[in-house]
Each structure stands twice: as structure tokens, then as C-alpha cells.
Amino acid sequence: MERLFQPISINSLKLKNRILMPTLDPGFAGEGGKVNQRLIDYFVRRARGGVSFIMVGPAVFDPRGVGGTFEYRLYLDGVLEGLSRLVEAIHDWGVPVGLQLHHAGRQANPALIDGTLVAPSAIPCPVRKSNPRALSLAEIEGIVHQYGVYARKVKEAGFDAVEVHGSHGYLIAEFLSPYSNARTDSYGGSLENRIRFAREVIQEVRKNVGKDFPIFFRIAGEEHVPGGLTWEETPLMAIRMEEAGVDAINVSAGNYRMAEWIVPPMTLPQGCNVSAAEAIKQKVKIPVVVAGRINEPELAEQILQNGKADVVAIARGLVADPDLPLKVKEGRLEEIRRCIACNVCIDRLFQEKDIVCTVNPEVGHEAEFELKPTLSRKRVMVIGGGPAGMEAARVAKLRGHQVSIFEEKSRLGGRIEAAFQASFKRELMNIVQYYEAVLKALNVEIKLATKVTTDLALGWKPDAVIIATGSIPLTPPIPGVHLPHVVQALPVLLQEKKVEGRVAIIGGGMVGCEVATFLAERGAQVTIIEMLPYVANGIPRLLGKMMKDTMKNLDVRTLVNRKVLEIKEGKVIFEDSGNVASLAVDWVVLAVGATPRDDLVNSLKELFQETYQIGDCLEPRKAPEAIYEGAKVAHQL
């Protein structure tokens, strides 16, 4: 990883390595973006992990430009002062910090702004759908002036750099793109006119911060919408930004219409913006930063070695594992808790909630989950080697307990093994690989192919028992459900049961969509039958959108608002708008949920005073809740 840990300068900014954390709003700020201790703890934890630079934001300077609840509203009393405290806390770890200046334009949240949305043209965002008002020339001049004023305030607050946000379909991007700019004056039409606003902003910022203060500019290398920006055009824009005074170009992609390119889910390839960054790097002399699913250190090193970018921007990867840079530097690649691009974090932000991370339960709980050595070493029995049990074992061992995992299967992983059988979810196996590596490094005793009984538990004599036995698939009360051609989804995904031909899947949630994709990829004719008006319920929005696109491309048929009445040999009978209909099938796959596997719970609670129940054996949910419960219990031991 020689190139990854080579220092680089961006104007006066000295970076110790090429790993930068770009803006990802965690949603931990108080009302109006006021800094609190939880937010400070979150960023300090990232600074401790060896990253070379952190970009905080987005920060809004205009009440008409607010895009989300937690954005830092610089015009409110106390916000800049709080950000200064944040900078000082991060600086204590020797890490420089930048602030991203942002105006959401037509993608602002109508419920959070004062007055009407503003934009280059009166063209509504296809997602927000609210009608914006076209900015007048005087208003454009005023916004340019505001950028300069607040850039100076950013510098005075102690930040080491400022970033002008010109990507993701926000105001500057709206001027840049013919997709959103239909002006006929000097700010619209030709490329030179469309970049005029951005250049004026950069020049005004430079005037206010001086020649030595670093300015980043974030640009969408490609918008991925008809009529939008492409990486054939954006390099020409980057040249003009460099001329205007930018010190580094930060390349991302997308807008709200194609939000999956802003925060690419697992269905998009890793390094999905590298081609666009390379095209820009070939045209400019300043450093180029690239973002977009760079969660593998080997990929990051390859990008740099091949000269396709100068710095890699890793956001979700540092949410998942803030120690990623240190682990790479120390050669502990197997112990990296890799981001799986499930986008649970981003889905929460879309709901105006703070983020959580599927694989890292410490996110937002950095103070609560700070590792503290136990004062009373215990013999801890963990029953179940799924995510909840493995996390409980990891944390308990780190705190100094003697820990053993008992798993009745011949391998760790639990039900998550079935989830990564669909091709687009292969990266979920990173969860299991991470725990296998870290538990081995910690010398946690793992007893595979061992079914725990009350006698075994009594003989082992634990001081504490953590029950993480998971769940079993639910069998719905449908006539015919026990016929030989009816199977559960899990044995199909685990390839313990071969299913082919015409297949009906009852249930269109996460598991139903996974098994539908899995079978369709292998040539089956798949139909999902779902009671709700839609499939992919409960799946993070961007991942769900792309899962549905994948199923459509595989010719998976979906029948929604249908209730299955009976299963017979060769067909499924269901209710359709008050009528009875049927579907000819060779196989029926059940994917209607799960029920707790809690057969050991009562007997063990009677035998051992300190007994805990975590994960799906308590209540079937998703991996984030299970892993969080594993960590929480282990911190309580």
C-alpha cells in the first residue's frame, strides 16, 4: 500500500496519506445543526483511526438552501462557535478539517426553508416535485457574495479548508447541468455560461480566504440522467474551475433523480466513479479526489498506482470501521470491518433520522461503547455463531472475559450466509470474514458443530450465558403448505434444495427478493406473490430500487395485492381483487418471515442467574439490531 500512504499537499494543506473522509452527514447535530458531544465523539473516533483529512458538512448559509434537518445552518446563533469546538477536538488528534458550503437549490426541503424554492430555472426536481422560482441576476449576485462571506467565516472558525459543493443536483450543479438549467441569459445555454455561476462563487471565495487557503470543489463526474452532465463534458468544467482558483476537484456522481449514484448501494460496482475522475485528472494539474464505493484498500491503492486519481474519498467505509487506515498501514487487512453498501445509514437520513451502521454498532454510541476493561473476569458462554453472537463474543473478549462460542453448524455466520447467495449481495460475506479474522486474532474459543443442551451448559459452568440462537422460518397457515413441492427460502439460498422451472415465491420482502434474484439468475421462471401493494418492503430505499431493477431485468414477475388461499400440486390459488385466480407452478418457495428460536431460553434462565437473550431469538429483525444488541450486552457484562 505504498501509494496510499504517500503524503500529498493541496495548496497549504499537508495530508499524511491519501485517505480522505468526505462529507457524510451523520444526523447527530442538534436543532439547526448545533454541535453537541455526540457529534464530537463521532468525528473524533474517525480522527483517531488514521484518516488524513475530514470534510464536515453540509453547511448551509442561506435559509432558502436547507436540504436536510441536521445540516449546519451557519446563519443561526451558536452554530459556527460549535463547529469551532468540533475543529479543536479533531485537531487534538492531528487531523485537518474542512467545511463544505452548500445550497440545495430546487432540491431543498420545502418544509425546512423560508419561502419558495429557488433554482436557475423554474423546473421542478422530479423527486421533490415542488415548483422553484428562477433566480434573478441580482439574487445570483447576492448568493455569490454569501459564499464569500461564509467562506471567510469558515476560515476564521479554525477550519483548514473549504469545499464548494457543486454536485448531487444542488444549486451549483443545477447551473452546471442542462438537465436543470434552461436559462437564456449569461448563466445558461453554452458550457461557458453554465459554469459562470460556479466560477464566480470560486473567485469570490478565493478573494475572501486568501491565496493559501485550500478550496475543494465537488463535482458530479456524471449525473446518469438523460440530458445531464457526462464525463465527456465535466473535464472541461474542471479546467475552468482550476483557472478560477480551485485547489482540488472532488469527483462524485448523481442527483436526486439518480440518488443511487450519490451513495452507491451494493448493486453498483466498486469504484464506480473512477472513469469520470480519470477523465478529469487527465485535464487538470491540481489533485483529483474520487469517491464512490471504494471500500477495499487494494482497489484504493490500484486507483492511485494507475494515476486515475490522487486521493481516495472514503465515507461509509470509515463509518463502518474508523480504524481502516491504521489497519491497512499495519497490514491487518482481514480485520477491517468493511462497509457492505447496504445503505441503512443513508436510508435513515432520507427519513430525517440519525444514522446507524449495520456492521458497526458503535456509530453514534462512541462514548457508551468505549472499551473498558472488566473489573470482574467472567467465563462467558455464547450460544449461536450468527452476527449477534459473534459481536458479543468480540466485545466481551476485548474487555477481558474468557469467551467461548458454541455453534451447532460447521461454520460461523448464521442466517446471514443465505443472504449473500444472491450475486449482488456477495459483499455480505465480508461480515462473516471480518468476525472470523478478529475472533481468531483475539483467541476466542469457537466450538463448531456443537449443539448446546442444558447438560452441556451445566458441565461448562459459565458465569454468564448469552443466547443468540437466531430464528427459524415461519410456516404460514395456508392449506397445502406441507406438500413436497413447497420449500422454505433458506435451504434454497443455501443450495440445500434444488428448485427450478416455474417458481412462485410467497412473500416479497428482503428474503423473497433475494431468493427471486438467486433463482432467476439460474434460469428459473420466477413470480413473487405479495399481499402488500409493493415488493421490497423494509429494504433501504436505494438498494430496494436497484433490487427491483435487477429483478425486472431478470424477468421476475411480481403480483402484488394478492393473498394466497391455497397451494395445490402444480398451482397456487390466490385472491385477486375479490376474484379467485391461480398460477401454474413447479415449486413454491416460502419467504414470509421468521419466528424466534427460543427453545433453550427458559431452561437456561432457570439454571444461570446471568442469562441474556439477543438477536433474532428475542425477536426476528435485521442485522443492525442484532449486532447492536450483541455489543450492548457485552459492554454490560
Which grid coordinates are listed for 422? 444472491
What Å distances lie between residue 519 and 411, 421, 472, 513, 584, CA to CA? Answer: 24, 10, 21, 10, 17
Q: What is the pLDDT of residue 452?
A: 96
Q: Looking at the chain, how many residues does it have? A: 637
Q: Measure the CA–CA gap between 494 and 409, rounded to whole angstroms.
A: 13
Q: What is the pLDDT of residues 464-519, one digit of tens each?
A: 999 999 999 999 999 999 999 999 999 999 999 999 999 999 999 999 999 999 99
Which grid coordinates are listed for 54? 475530514
Cβ contact 378:637 at 8 Å: yes
Q: Measure the CA–CA gap between 374 and 602, rounded to whole angstroms.
A: 27
Q: Which residues of the chain fall below pLDDT 50? A: none
Q: Please state whether beta strands 594-596 and 471-473 pair in parallel, antiparallel, or not at all (unpaired).
A: antiparallel
Positive or negative torsion for Cα 342, 60, 230, 243: negative
Q: Measure the CA–CA gap between 11 and 20, rounded to whole angstroms.
A: 16
HEC assignment per residue over 568-622: ECCEEEEEECCEEEEEECCEEEECCCEEECCCCHHHHHHHCCCEEECHHHCCCCC
Q: What is the pLDDT of residue 427?
A: 87
Q: What is the pLDDT of residue 531?
A: 95
Which grid coordinates are listed for 319? 463509518
Positive or negative torsion for Cα 170, 51, 437, 472: negative
Secondary structure (3-state) at 99: strand
HEC assignment per residue over 405-472: EECCCCCCCCCHHHHCCCHHHHHHHHHHHHHHHHHHHCCCEEECCCCCCHHHHHHHCCCEEEECCCEE
Task: Name the active-site residue from 72, 170, 256, 628.
Answer: 170
Q: Measure the CA–CA gap between 412 and 436, rounded to whole angstroms.
A: 8
Cβ contact 532:512 at 8 Å: no
Cβ contact 387:414 at 8 Å: yes
Q: What is the dihedral of CA 123, 127, 131, 135, to 10 degrees?
A: -50
Q: What is the pLDDT of residue 415?
A: 84
| H helix or E strand, kind and range, residue 488 | strand 486-488
Cβ contact 179:228 at 8 Å: yes
Q: 608: burial class by Cβ within 10 Å (0-12, 13-18, 19+)?
A: middle
Cβ contact 435:390 at 8 Å: yes
- The residue behind cell 482558483 is 245
HSE of 523, CA atoms in CB hemisphere, 13 A? 3
Q: What is the pLDDT of residue 602?
A: 92
What Å distances lie between residue 121 and 276, 362, 508, 573, CA to CA? Answer: 27, 43, 40, 53
Which of 266, 434, 254, 420 has its CA nearest to residue 345? 266
Q: Measure the CA–CA gap between 566 and 141, rounded to whole angstroms.
A: 68
Which of 157, 174, 155, 158 has its CA nearest to residue 166? 174
**Tally of CB atoms within 10 A around 451:** 11
Cβ contact 637:463 at 8 Å: no
Q: Measure the CA–CA gap between 520 and 177, rounded to whole angstroms.
A: 38
Helix residue ranges per DSSP H, 36-75: 37-48
pTM of the model: 0.94
| Catalytic residue status for 628 | no
Whether residue 462 has a cis bond before it, omega within 30° of 0? no
Cβ within 8 Å of residue 138, ≥6 positions away = none
What domains are defined for the chain?
Answer: 3-331 (3.20.20.70), 379-473+595-636 (3.40.50.720), 486-592 (3.50.50.60)
Which of 386, 408, 396 has its CA nearest to residue 618? 386
Burial code (b: 16+ CB inside 10 Å, e: under 16) for 92-129 equals: ebebbbbbbbbbbbbbbbeebbeeebbbbbebebeebe
Positive or negative torsion for Cα 136, 138, 144, 148: negative
Give strand ranges (E) for 206-348. 215-220, 248-252, 288-290, 311-313
Q: Measure the CA–CA gap between 482 and 389, rounded to whole angstroms.
A: 32
> What is the C-alpha radius of gyration for the chain, rounded to an integer number of angstroms?
26
Displacement of CA 450 from its chain's centroid (Å): 35
Give strand ranges (E) for 180-272. 215-220, 248-252
Cβ within 8 Å of residue 77, ≥6 positions away = none
